[in-house]
């Protein structure tokens, strides 16, 4: 897929991959090029039929040229027997922007992904966000890595993880500052809804130059009983109060995407929160 020089594609380009055969291997290879000054929104949906064991091993390559902008939204809906291994590499040139939003609200046997982003041109920028719900016996390892290799580049990685039942969640983040005048921030929050579930957060900052600004914050906990009781005193049931608080926790800034797409993503998150 190529967005030609100067093209401003306002309508999102959508793709959907369905895995329907038992024991199937889904291995798409996506290549997206955003040429100089172009803008493109890409939305991908990957899902499987109920009770279909299989492997998803998609590979994506993204190239954002000078002054270009790419927003990439990936929404997954898997089955508890599916193993998921997406692999993503991104190169952003001078003044370019790469914005990624990853949403996964359904259980899966295992998920491991750690997109790599290289900011190689002055002033390039990356923003990665993820909202993950791990339920059942899911084992999920979700990360994001950004290499700031040119002056005045910046990156932000934001993640929200919710675990329930016996699920395990590892949230990794790395920003590597390798040039002067770069900035990076990591925000990693986890919410446990079960004493049998687990969340491990691993935010990492790698400074290789003295003139950098890097920061991170991480927090893991449970829902506040005081907040639940307050909402119940206002007439909500315990399930409704829990759903509202989980929905508020999962809110992230969905920047760089059209309003209609933002509303659709927020609706999907709200529906998932209601199911918790």
* Range 155-169 average pLDDT: 94
Q: Would you say residue 66 has pLDDT above 80?
A: yes
Q: Is pLDDT larger for residue 75 or for residue 256? A: 75
* Range 84-89 average pLDDT: 95
What percent of the chain is modeled with pLDDT above 70?
Answer: 95
Q: Would you say residue 137 has pLDDT above 90?
A: yes
DSSP tag of 247: H
pLDDT at 24: 83
pLDDT at 72: 95
| Contacts of residue 159, Cβ cutoff 8 Å, sequence gap at least 6 | 129, 130, 131, 132, 142, 144, 171, 173, 187, 188, 189
pLDDT at 52: 67
Give residue 184's Cα distance to chain centre.
17
113: nearest Cα among 142, 78, 84 = 142
Residue 265 pLDDT grade (very low, low, confident, very high; cuts 50, 70, 90): confident
119: nearest Cα among 157, 156, 153 = 153
Residue 105 pLDDT grade (very low, low, confident, very high; cuts 50, 70, 90): confident
* Range 95-109 average pLDDT: 93
**Region label for 115, one of left (φ > 0), alpha (ψ between -120 and 50) or beta (otherwise):** beta
Beta strand pairing status for 139-142 and 168-177?
Answer: parallel
User: 44 - beta bridge partners?
Assistant: 15, 74
pLDDT at 258: 72
* Range 154-178 average pLDDT: 95
Query: H/E element holding 268?
Result: helix 259-274
- DSSP-derived 3-state class of residue 188: strand
């Amino acid at each position: 897929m190529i967005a030609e020089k100067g093209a401003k594609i306002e309508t999102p380009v959508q793709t959907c991959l369905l895995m329907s055969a038992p024991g199937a291997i889904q291995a798409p290879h996506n290549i997206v090029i955003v040429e100089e000054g172009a803008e493109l929104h890409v939305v991908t949906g990957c899902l499987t039929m109920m009770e279909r064991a299989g492997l998803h091993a998609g590979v994506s390559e993204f190239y954002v040229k000078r002054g270009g902008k790419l927003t990439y939204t990936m929404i997954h809906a898997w089955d508890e027997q599916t193993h998921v291994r997406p692999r993503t590499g991104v190169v952003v040139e001078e003044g370019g922007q790469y914005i990624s939003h990853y949403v996964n609200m359904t259980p899966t046997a295992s998920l491991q992904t750690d997109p790599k982003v290289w900011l190689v041109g002055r002033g390039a920028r990356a923003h990665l966000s993820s909202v993950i719900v791990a339920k059942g016996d899911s084992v999920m390892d979700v990360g994001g890595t950004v290499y700031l290799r040119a002056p005045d580049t910046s990156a932000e990685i934001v993640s929200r993880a919710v675990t329930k039942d016996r699920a395990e969640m590892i949230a990794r983040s790395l920003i590597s500052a390798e040039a002067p005048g770069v900035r990076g921030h990591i925000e990693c929050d986890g919410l446990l809804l079960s004493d049998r579930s687990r969340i491990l957060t691993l935010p990492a900052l790698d400074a290789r130059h003295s003139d950098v600004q890097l920061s991170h914050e991480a927090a893991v906990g449970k829902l506040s009983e005081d907040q639940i009781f307050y909402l119940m005193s206002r007439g909500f049931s315990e399930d409704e109060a829990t759903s509202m608080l989980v929905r508020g926790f999962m809110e992230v800034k969905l920047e760089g995407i059209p309003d209609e797409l933002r509303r659709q993503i927020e609706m999907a998150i709200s529906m998932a929160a209601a199911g918790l």
